[in-house]
A and B are shown apart, each in its own frame.
Chain A
Amino acid sequence: MSKKNVPKAIPGTAPPAVGADKTVVKAVNLSGGIFGACPAHVDVKDGKVIRIRPLHYDSKYDYESFNPWEMERNGVKFRPLSKSVPPPWGLAYKKRAYSPNRVPYPLKRVDWDPNGERNTHNRGSSKFERISWDEATDIIASEIRRIHKEYGPLAILVQGDGHSESKLIHAPHGCSTLLLDKMGGFTQQVRNPDSWEGWYWGAKHVWGKGFIGNMAPAENIVNDITENTELLIIQGGDLETTPWGFRGQMASRLMFFWQEAGIEQVYICPDLNYSAAIHANKWIPVLPNTDAALQLAIIYTWVTEGTYDKEYVATHAVGMDKIEDYVLGKVDGIPKTPKWASEKCGIPSYTIKALARHWAKKTTTVGHYFGGGYIRGPYATEPARLEVILLGMQGLGKPGVHHAQIAYLGMPKNITWDQLNYDIANSDTSKGFQEYSGTFETIKQKDPELHERIFNPHRGTPQAWGKQLIPKTLIEEAIKKGTDKYLEFWGTGGHEEEPIDQMIKYTYPCKKGDLRYTGEEKKDLTHNDSDIEKLYKEIDYDGTPIRMVWTDTPCRQTCWGDGFDIGMTIRDPQIEFVLAQHPWLENDCIYADIVLPTNTTLEVDDIMPCVRDGEHFQTVLNMRQAIPPVGDSKSDFEAVVEISKKLGMEEEVTIGRTIDEYIEGVYKGMNFDRIVSWEEFQEKDYMVIPVSKNWKTLPAGLYEFYKDPEANPLPTPTGKLEFCSTNLQKYFPNDEERPPYPQWIEKGITHDERLSSPRARAYPLLVVSNHPRWRVHAQADDIPWTKEAMTGKIRGFDGYLYEPCWINPKDAEARGIKTGDIVKVFNERGTVLCGALVIERIIPGAVSIDHGARTDIIIPGKLDRGGAINLITPKGLTSRHAGGQATTSFLVDVQRVTMEEYEKWRTGYPEAWNRQYDRASGLKASAWVERGIK
C-alpha cells in the first residue's frame, strides 16, 4: 500500500456568495429526524437557488476557537477540516427541490369517492386529479371524524417514521401525531431497526441493550482505534456510502488517515463495496449472508489452536462451553471446520485459517456502518451474535478491540457533554448523550409544552408510543388478518426498547390486559424478566382494526420486504382511506386516495442542531427559508395545521406559537445561548459547538467492563457477555431460528434462501442489496447528475435509466449478458427490470442491486421497470421471533430481456410503459395526473 498524503485542515478559504442576493444555511444530510448534519451554504438569487456549497465553519468564527481535536498514529496526524463535507446529492439538492417529480398541488384519486364508490382495488392503477387545499382538507377532516365515530381513533394508522430531510419543526415524518395524539390517539407503525436488525434482535442478547443494539458505551473509540488497533475488519458495511446520508463524508477522510497511519483494513463482503474499492489491504469475498459459517470456523480454529483469551472469557463471559461444544461438533455431529465453512461461504479454507490466525495475533476491531450483506438478511441475529462472541474471545473492551459503527459513535465529545448542560437533573453524562432524545432533556425541563411539540413528531422511530402498535414489518400481515383475527408479535422493534421487550407478546388489535411499556426510565434493572413488572403495565382498553392509513413516509414498497405484496395489500377495502403527504409523487404515494404536496427544507424556516457524531465539528443551524414554496406546497407541519383548522384543533397543534417562537425556544431551550448569544446566532445563522477540552478523559468503549467486569457489569441478566443468552434460553428454548446461542441456520420455517435450497435450481444467484451509493434509501432517485456516475444508472437502448445490476463477467457470459443490456431479476415474488453492469466488483454466484430505486410498476404485483429490488425480497421477518426485515441475500435469477419479451410488455401495457419521463431525472409527476395539469 503506497503512502498517501492526508492533507491537514486549511482554514481561511471561506468563499463569498458570488452572484447571490441571499445566502442561507441548511443541513443537507438525509437521515432526518431530530438531528441534522452536513451544513451547507445555499446561495439564492431572485428566489431561485443558484448553488449549494460546503459551509466553511470559519467563515464567521475563528477556527481555533472550536478547540479542534487531533488524532495521531505513527507520526500521521488527523485534524478536522475547516469546512463541512456534504455528500454529492446534498450538494445537488436544488435538483430535488425543482424536480419534475414534485407533487404540484393537492391530488385526489379520480375514482375514489368518499361519499360513494371508493374503488380501493384501483389503488396504484388509477390516476389523480387536482383539488384545492380547501377541498382536500374538508375531505380529510370529514373522513377523520367519520372514522373516529364509526371505529374509534385507533382505526387510523400513522406511518410517520424513517429517514428524510433534516427539519426539526417542519418534521417530514410524524407531524400527523401532533393532531391525532390530541384526538384520542392512533395506531403507530413502529419502525424496525431496518439497517441493523442483527444487532437489535441478536447482539442485544449478548451484551445487553447497547445503543439501539450496537456496542455501548462507544465513546472515544475512534481515537482508541487510531492509537491501538492493528487490524480493522470491515464485515459488510460501507464507509463510503452509508455515512453520507447520516453525517456526510468525514468517515472517508478517517479511512484514508487510518490507511496512511498503517492500520490494516480487511474487507469481508460479497461485493467490492465503495470503501473496499479504495481502502482495502485485502478483500475477502464471501457469499451473501454466509458470514456465520466463516465466523464459526474462526472460533473453531481459535478453540482448536488455543489462540483466544481464555482468561478474559472465564471472567467476562458465560456460555463458552456451549459455543465450544457446538463448533467442535458435539451438538450436531458436525465440526465447524474451515473446510465445512468453505463450502458454505465460498472462502478457501486456507484463507479462513490465515484470517483466524492473523486476527488472533493482531489487536482487532470489527467495523461497520450499518447495512451490508449479513446484518439485514435472513437470520441476521446469528452473524451479529457471533461477531460479539469473536470480539469477546479476543478481549472486547481492551484498547483497540471494539465493535465500531465507525464515526457514527465514538468521536470526540463537544462541550454539551461536560460543560453546557451541567444543570440538567438526571442527566447521564456517561452516555455522552447518545440517545435520540437525551439532548432535548433541557427543553423538557424548561418548557414541557414546547418539548412535546418538537419531540413528538420524531418519536415514531426511537419509541413505540402509540396507543396501538404494528411493527413496520407486519403492516400487511395485520391488514390480512381482517377485522376479526389477532396478529401476535414479540417485541415492538422500537429502537430504544430494553432487550426484555423482545420476550413480550404483543397483539394487534391490542387487548385489555396486554402489557405496555410505561415509558419510565429505571436505574435498578436486573435485566431479567423481573424487569417486566417494573417497566410494563397492563393496558385497560381494547384496540381496533385499522381503517385509514396516513402516511408521510411513502417508500415501503422500495425499502421494506416483499414490496409487490405491499402494493397489492393496500388495495384491501378494509382500508377505506389512504392519505399521503410528501414532496414527490413517488412509490407508495401512487397508492393514496389523497396526496398533499409538502415541501423541502429549502422552502421553510427551521432550526437544526447537528449534534451527533460523525462530522468534523458539530453545529447549530438557523435554517432560514431559501426559496418560496414550490408549486402549491406547504410544509408537513403546515399541512397538518390546515387539517387541524377544519377539525377545530389548530391551537392544540400549534400550541399557539409561531415558527420564530419555536426556533428561539429550541435554541435557548437547549442552552446554546450559553455558547453564542441568540442575537449573534441570528446574525450569523450558524454556530459551531466547541470540542470539549476533556474529551480524551472518557474511557474508550467497554474499557471499564474489560478492566473490572464485576464493578462495571454489562446490562445483561448475568452482567457478563452472554455467549448463551439467559433470556432466550428461558423464553424461546426451542427456537431453531434464534437458538439461545448462535448457530448456523441453513434454512428454517421463515426462510429458504440459500444456494443449497431446491429453489436455487430455478433461482441460482444471491442478491446482495446494499444501502445505495447514489440515494439515501428511496430519497434522491430523481437527481440527474448522480445518475451520470458509472454506477449511477444504466441507460437502456430505449433511453430509460435502469437501476444497475452488478454481475460478474462469468455469470454474465453464461447468460449472454453485456453491460447496458436490459435484464430481468426475478423469483416467485415477481420481476424487476435493471440495467446490466458487468463488473469485477461482485463475485460469481451473486449480483448486487442497491435498494430504494423509485418503483415504476408495469404489471401490479408482478413487474417493475424502476429497479426497486425490494419488490421481490423475502416477506418473512428476520426469524420467527425476531421482527426485523430480511431484505438482502435472497435467491433470484437474472436473464437478458429478449426483444420479444420487451415488445410484449411495451405493447401489452402501453400506458404504463410510456409514462411521462424526463430524460435527465426520470418519471414525472404528470405521469400520474389525469386532470388538472396546466
Chain B
Amino acid sequence: MGKKVFLVDTGICNGCYSCHIGCKDEHVTNDWTPVAKPQPEIGQFWLKMHEKIRGSVPKVKVHYRPGMCMHCDNPTCMEACPIDGAIYKRDDGLVIIDPEKCTGCRNCLEACPYEDVIYFNEDLNIAQKCTGCAHLLDNGWKETRCSDNCPTLAIRIVDEDSEEAKEFIANAEFYKPELAEKMKPRVYYKGLPKKFIAGTVFDPVADEVIIGGTCTLTGAGGKKFTTATDHFGDFWFENLPDGVFKLEIKADGKTKVFTDLDTAAADINLGDIPLT
C-alpha cells in the first residue's frame, strides 16, 4: 500500500461545499466502526470549508480552502493520547482515532496545532476527525468522498510516489508552513492567498482612466515590484507577503505616492485614485 497524500488546489475550488456534503453524507448517521462512528448532524466538520473575502468594493476576491486533518507524520495528537493504540497511524499514512478505544480525555484536541481538525462528540464521548475515508480506501475506492464529490478535481488523494503527486508537490505549499517541519503534514496546497494591493487610476480633468501608468511598489529591504495600469486603469499587485510597502504611481508627468501600506492585516484596495 502506497502512502497517501492530499493535494488541494484552492485556485480551482469554486466553494460549492460538495466536499463538506460528501463528508457529512458518508459519516452522519452511518457507522463505519472500527474506522469511525457517526459524525454529529451539524456543527462539526471533518472536512471544513474556510471562506475568506479579500479586499473591498470593487476590488474583491473570494478564497475557499477545504481543510481536513493533515494526517501528520509527526502527529502530536497521537503523542498526547494516553491510551495505547487509540490514535494510530496506518501504513498508508492516514491517522485514525479509534472510536472504540478513545476514552474522551480530549488531550488530542489540545495537542493538534491546526484549527478545526479534531472535534469532540459529546453524545459518544469521543474525539473525532477526518479518517481519509479509510473504510472506503480499504474496500476498493481510489478516492475519498470529498474528492469524489469535487466537481473541479480541486481535492485529490493519491499515492505519494505517483507522478501526479510529485508534480503537484514540486510547486505546492503547506497551510501554516511554520508548523510543517515539526508536524510533517500530508496535505499539500496550491493557491493559498497571499496579499494584494490594487486600485484604479484616473485623470479627473479629462474624466478618463489612465492606461499604461507605471506603478512601482517597494517593500521591505527595498524589494521592488512594478506593473502598469491596464485598459480599465487598474493595477493589481498580487501574491504579496505581509509587510509595509510604498507605492509610486507615475503617468503623464504626474506622480502620486502612497506610503505605509501595511498588508499584514488585510489586502489593500486603494480605490479610484485621481492623478492630478
Which residues of A approach B to under 8 Å, CB–CB? 2, 4-7, 10, 13, 15-16, 18-19, 50-54, 81, 83, 85-89, 91-92, 94, 240, 244, 248-250, 252-253, 256, 272, 274, 277-278, 282-285, 338-339, 348-351, 353-355, 357-358, 784-791, 808, 839-844, 919-920
**Among the listed stretches B8-16, B181-189, B244-252, which one makes contact with chain A, having 4 or more residues with CB under 8 Å of it?**
B8-16
Select B25's contact among A15, A91, A282, A284, beta carbons within 8 Å.
Answer: A91
Contacting pair A16 B139 (CB below 8 A): yes
> Counting CB contacts under 8 A, is B149 at the interface?
yes
**Which residues of A are found within 8 Å of B61, using beta-carbon distances?**
277-278
CB proximity of A6 to chain B, nearest CB, Å: 7
CB proximity of A23 to chain B, nearest CB, Å: 13
Interface centre among B14, B41, B145, B234 (most CB of A within 10 A): B14
Select A53's contact among B139, B145, B209, beta carbons within 8 Å.
Answer: B145
CB proximity of B239 to chain A, nearest CB, Å: 7
Select A50's contact among B17, B30, B51, beta carbons within 8 Å.
Answer: B30
**Which residues of A are found within 8 Å of B59, using beta-carbon distances?**
283
CB proximity of B199 to chain A, nearest CB, Å: 13
Determine the residue in chain A with the shortest Cβ distance to B62.
A277
Question: Can you name 24 A-B pairs with beta carbons within 8 Å?
Answer: A2-B11, A15-B143, A19-B30, A51-B30, A53-B22, A53-B145, A54-B148, A88-B20, A240-B14, A249-B16, A249-B151, A252-B152, A278-B15, A278-B62, A285-B57, A348-B272, A351-B200, A351-B232, A353-B207, A354-B232, A355-B232, A789-B49, A791-B51, A843-B57
How far, in whole Å, are A92 and B29 apart by their CA atoms in the complex?
Answer: 13
CB proximity of A258 to chain B, nearest CB, Å: 13
**Which residues of A are found within 8 Å of B43, using beta-carbon distances?**
788
> How would residues 18 to 34 of chain B score, 1 for a CB under 8 Å from any chain A CB and 0 otherwise?
10111011100010100
Interface centre among A53, A86, A284, A839 (most CB of B within 10 A): A53
Contacting pair B140 A15 (CB below 8 A): yes
CB proximity of B59 to chain A, nearest CB, Å: 8
Contacting pair A841 B136 (CB below 8 A): no
Known: A7-B153, A18-B136, A248-B151. Contact between A358 and B14, CB under 8 A?
Answer: no
Contacting pair A786 B148 (CB below 8 A): no
CB proximity of A22 to chain B, nearest CB, Å: 15
**Which residues of B are found within 8 Å of A790, using beta-carbon distances?**
49, 51
Contacting pair A282 B234 (CB below 8 A): yes
Contacting pair A87 B232 (CB below 8 A): no
Determine the residue in chain B with the shortest Cβ distance to A280.
B61
**Which residues of A are found within 8 Å of B24, using beta-carbon distances?**
92, 785
Contacting pair A788 B42 (CB below 8 A): yes
Additional 14 contacts, C-beta under 8 A, given A94-B25, A785-B25: A15-B136, A16-B139, A81-B153, A83-B148, A91-B21, A240-B16, A248-B151, A253-B151, A274-B62, A277-B62, A790-B49, A840-B56, A843-B58, A919-B42
Known: A91-B18, A278-B14. Contact between A16 and B207, CB under 8 A?
Answer: no
Contacting pair B21 A785 (CB below 8 A): yes
**Which residues of B are found within 8 Å of A338, using beta-carbon distances?**
207
Find residues 33-75 in chain B having any chain A CB closer than 8 Å to their own CB: 41-43, 45, 49, 51, 53, 55-62, 64
**Which residues of B are found within 8 Å of A92, using beta-carbon distances?**
21, 24-25
Contacting pair B232 A282 (CB below 8 A): yes
How far, in whole Å, are A572 and B55 apart by their CA atoms in the complex?
Answer: 52
Determine the residue in chain A with the shortest Cβ distance to B41.
A920
CB proximity of A534 to chain B, nearest CB, Å: 47
> Counting CB contacts under 8 A, is B79 at the interface?
no
Interface size class of B (residues with CB under 8 A): 35 or more
Contacting pair B231 A358 (CB below 8 A): yes
Can you list the 8 inter-chain pairs with the closest CB atoms, starting with the nearest?
A: A85-B151, A277-B62, A249-B151, A16-B140, A7-B153, A15-B141, A18-B139, A4-B11
Contacting pair B62 A348 (CB below 8 A): no
Select B238's contact among A2, A53, A808, A919, beta carbons within 8 Å.
Answer: A2
CB proximity of B9 to chain A, nearest CB, Å: 7
How far, in whole Å, are A786 and B15 apart by their CA atoms in the complex?
Answer: 12
Known: A5-B9, A252-B16. Contact between A784 and B41, CB under 8 A?
Answer: yes
Determine the residue in chain A with the shortest Cβ distance to B210.
A350
**Which residues of A are found within 8 Å of B18, using beta-carbon distances?**
86-88, 91, 249
Find residues 136-190 in chain B having any chain A CB closer than 8 Å to their own CB: 136, 139-143, 145, 148-149, 151-153, 190
Contacting pair A256 B12 (CB below 8 A): yes
> How would residues 247 to 260 of chain B score, 1 for a CB under 8 Å from any chain A CB and 0 otherwise?
00000000000000
How far, in whole Å, are A86 and B22 apart by their CA atoms in the complex?
Answer: 11
**Which residues of A are found within 8 Å of B26, using beta-carbon distances?**
51
Interface centre among A256, A338, A788, A919 (most CB of B within 10 A): A788
CB proximity of B275 to chain A, nearest CB, Å: 11
**Which residues of A are found within 8 Å of B64, using beta-carbon distances?**
278
Select A284's contact among B22, B41, B42, B58, beta carbons within 8 Å.
Answer: B58
Determine the residue in chain A with the shortest Cβ distance to B11.
A4
How far, in whole Å, are A836 and B121 apart by their CA atoms in the complex?
Answer: 30
> Counting CB contacts under 8 A, is B208 at the interface?
yes
**Which residues of B are found within 8 Å of A16, using beta-carbon distances?**
139-141
Determine the residue in chain A with the shortest Cβ distance to B141.
A15
Contacting pair B12 A52 (CB below 8 A): no
How far, in whole Å, are A50 and B22 apart by their CA atoms in the complex?
Answer: 11
> Counting CB contacts under 8 A, is B202 at the interface?
yes
Determine the residue in chain A with the shortest Cβ distance to B202.
A350
**Which residues of B are found within 8 Å of A13, using beta-carbon distances?**
142-143, 148
CB proximity of B67 to chain A, nearest CB, Å: 14
Determine the residue in chain B with the shortest Cβ distance to A783.
B21
Contacting pair A358 B232 (CB below 8 A): yes
> Counting CB contacts under 8 A, is B99 at the interface?
no
> Counting CB contacts under 8 A, is B135 at the interface?
yes
Contacting pair B136 A10 (CB below 8 A): no
How far, in whole Å, are A844 and B57 apart by their CA atoms in the complex?
Answer: 9
**Which residues of A are found within 8 Å of B14, using beta-carbon distances?**
240, 249, 252, 256, 274, 278
How far, in whole Å, are A895 and B57 apart by their CA atoms in the complex?
Answer: 22
